[in-house]
Structure 1
Amino acid sequence: MFVVKIGGNILDSPERLQAFLVDFAQLPGPKLLVHGGGKIASAFGQRLGITPRMVEGRRITDAETLELVTMVYGGLVNKQVVAKLQALGCNAIGLTGADANIIPAHLRPVRTIDYGFAGDVEGPETINVQALEAFFQVGLTPVVAPLTHDTQGSMLNTNADTIASVLATALAQNHSVQLIYCFEKKGVLQNAEDEDSVIPHINAEKYQALKEDGVVNAGMVPKLDNAFAALQQGVQAVQICDAAAIKQLVEGNNAGTLITFS
């Protein structure tokens, strides 16, 4: 089973998104797609006079921003992706964490930073795997927006990389799962200015060194944190690559950055 997360500039580019979805639709067997959409939400927010606030790659979600991301992630982005997959013969169903109660979460506690209406998922054991399996059994491909719910009637903004990681680990109970993070870069870069400086392999020790040296920072930190969390909990492999490389990766060719413990 493939759990694929798509984000970054791919969602902003109709051409790149279409090319990715063509490849994704052709993946064999059951699959699940998680999408981001932060840049689109920021752009819409600015049109509405809502200035995005980010700390360490994560969005501060006040009440106004929660309304914004619910509309953009759960509505605009999610349904556009679903419609495009339907046109490609992939019978997709768009979901948030509230739908079928697939991802309950809790409000992130305030420590050094108040992230507002940000949701943290307890762990893979809280995921409604039974509902997801029911979708797979009838030939549906879930397309999941980065939104969860607090079981008390409120939506919560949740990092898409985290959602992909937790869903992958939950599904790993019953499947051999490969988690793939696709974005606009060829992988994790040694030099952000050099598109070809891909680091082919990162283990836990190297990750710490890359963070200390500042090579890995901002939004890449939660992505890699979630990659290692997935590996710890049963996911077979984690890859970070250019969305255009997903086909060659699935065919067994090297692409992007492979994440392992050792």
Structure 2
Amino acid sequence: MKKLTIVKVGGKVIDEASALNAFLKSFSTLEGEKILIHGGGKIASDFGKKLGVEPKMIDGRRITDAETIDLVTMVYGGLVSKRIVSKLQALKVNAIGLTGADANVIPATKRPIGAIDYGFVGDVKPENINTEILKKLIDSGLIPVLAPLTHDGEGHMLNTNADTIAASVAAALAQQFEVKLIYCFEQPGVLSDFENKLVISEIKRAEVAGLKESGVINEGMLPKMDCALLALTHGAKSVRIGSFENLSALANDQSGTLISN
């Protein structure tokens, strides 16, 4: 079975040209088959303010109304995607930028209205992923670069969490590849001591609940951990979380936090 490395990157690296260049250079050196999933950084919010579209947030989550879905489609699927793809092409990586609507790669379901109406936000599951298309792209020598956008099959784009997309893609492709999923963000891994940046080298599934209860796993790390467990449940070989500055070391199991069964 061929090995496949799936890398999700987000946060400030998307916003800073020098950091993004360094990250993509590391990504270009990863051996074997690979997929990149990117977030949007602050660029959508910054562009929105220039266009008079103020970001609407509740409990740290973006509310994606009709104006905002147009904005994030332009920024994530256009500016950010093509910026990344063009930089990868310069590094001799034959990347192809996609949203979930392209080739029906990631159909999703619009999130039902509950206590909060999140608007045009998509929920995706591993069974939604069009693995046939992704495998054809990979087998043809292309490197898929997936933006955090899906579609509902009825003509509407949906803003979708990039961590969830990464986990779902990893889970879906685990039947066809030996999948390693890497989450890259600002911190060096899951931290036992945030102030001193003490990294937990490995977290087993059975330890997750206790770490959540104690507050070690909190806030933005909670959904990442849930996504990691989703990927492992569906057969991903390993999941590693760490700094975008250490991608090569993460890929070689020399950095970050390993999430394991």
TM-score, length basis structure 2:
0.93
| 1:217 corresponds to | 218
Paired with 1:224 and 1:179, the residues of 2 have a C-alpha distance of: 12
Q: CA deviation at 1:193?
A: 3.5
Distance apart, 1:57 and its partner CA: 4.2
- Tell me if the contact between 2:14 and 2:41 (Cα under 8 Å) persists in the aligned partners: no
Distance of 2:23 and 2:82 partners within structure 1: 16
Structure 1 unaligned residues grouped into runs of 5+: none
Q: Look up the match of 2:135.
A: 133
Q: Is the 8 A contact 1:2 1:30 kept in 2?
A: yes
TM-score, reference length from structure 1: 0.93
Provide the alpha-carbon RMSD of the alignment.
1.6
Q: Note the C-alpha offset of 1:218.
A: 2.8
Percent identity between the aligned chains?
A: 56
Q: Which amino acid aligns with 1:114?
A: D
Secondary structure in structure 2 of the residue aligned to 1:177 = strand
Aligned to 1:11: 14
Counterpart of 1:89 in structure 2 is 92
Q: Report the Cα distance in structure 1 between the residues aligned to 2:19 and 2:73, rounded to whole angstroms.
A: 24
Worse-superposed segment, 183-192 or 205-214: 205-214
Q: Does residue 47 of structure 2 align to residue 44 of structure 1?
A: yes
Aligned residues of 1:147 and 1:155 also touching (Cα < 8 A):
yes
CA contact (8 A) 1:57 1:218 kept: no
Q: How many residue pairs were aligned?
A: 258
- Give the distance between the partners of 2:207 and 2:115, measured in 1 at CA: 27
DSSP 3-state at the match of 2:254: coil
3-state SS of 1:85 partner: helix
Q: Which has the higher strand share?
A: 2
Structure 1 segments (4+ residues) deviating >6 Å: none
The Cα shift of 1:221 comes to 1.7
CA positional deviation for 1:56 = 4.5
Structure 1 partner of 2:183: 181
Q: Which residue does the alignment assign to 2:255?
A: 255
Alignment correspondent of 2:154: 152
